[in-house]
Amino acid sequence: MSLIGNIIWLIFGGFISGLGYIVGGLATCLTIIGIPFGLQAIKLGFATMTPFGKQNLVLDSFSSPLTLIFNVIWVIFFGWEIALSHLIHGLILLITIIGIPFAQQHFKLIPMALFPFGREFR
């Protein structure tokens, strides 16, 4: 199911969405201050491209003070918009029965979009 789900996901918007995150992350990496945030955007882009069959893991570094600071900055400047986008797209996909598995993938990406530092998508 995960292979077919990922293929359908990529065809109907996952590739473009993930590519947008990756290009935005590369642009953010052009500044020295933006490198950690750009790397997280790139990580989110790869997670967005193939979400089926993967889970959101919280790493041990999630509770460190530096991770907390970076996550707060991320939520203020980037995270809430990305999470809101995944929430809206997930709610729209819940309207149809066929869209339910894809809505679940959007909902699975929300914690990663809000707090990407100290998280991994495997």
Q: Which amino acid is at 12?
A: F
CB atoms within 10 A of CB 42: 19
Largest CA distance in the chain: 45
pLDDT of the chain along its 122 residues, tens only? 799 999 999 999 999 999 999 999 999 999 999 999 999 999 999 999 999 999 999 999 999 999 999 999 999 999 999 999 999 999 999 999 999 999 999 999 999 999 999 999 98
One-letter identity of residue 72: V
> Could you give the count of Cα atoms lying within 13 Å of 57 in the half-sphere of its Cβ?
8
pLDDT score at 1 = 75
